[in-house]
């Protein structure tokens, strides 16, 4: 597996489902835009949160085609970032 650190802001289209008991699991990234390219999310594989100082960040591991992407959402800034891309 080859991991490439990106750390760039992205735009994300998200679906929210109300039938889940835990709010973050009800959040599903559907599509994201990195640069000028749109990526359709094929699956969400892992969701977890972590603290970065006082900021709480939710991490989504998603796949699009043959690649896996690590997306983050900051509850402090309400901004999405593409943190990593993984091949293989």
Residue 3 reports pLDDT greater than 90? yes
The average pLDDT across 42-62 equals 94
Predicted TM-score of the model (pTM): 0.88
| Alpha-carbon gap, residue 32 to 52, rounded angstroms | 23
pLDDT classification of 25: cutoffs 50, 70, 90: low
With CA atoms as reference, report the closest residue to 71 among 51, 79, 80.
Answer: 80
Residue 34 reports pLDDT greater than 70? yes
Better pLDDT: 88 or 51: 51
With CA atoms as reference, report the closest residue to 7 among 59, 63, 67, 84.
Answer: 84
């Amino acid at each position: 597996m080859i991991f490439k650190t990106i750390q760039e802001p992205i735009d994300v289209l998200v679906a929210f489902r109300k039938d889940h008991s835990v709010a973050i699991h009800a959040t599903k990234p559907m599509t994201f835009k990195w640069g000028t390219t749109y990526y359709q999310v094929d699956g969400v594989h892992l969701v977890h949160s972590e603290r970065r100082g006082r900021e709480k960040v939710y991490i989504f591991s998603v796949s699009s085609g043959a690649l896996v992407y690590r997306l983050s959402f900051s509850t402090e800034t309400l901004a999405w970032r593409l943190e990593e891309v993984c091949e293989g």
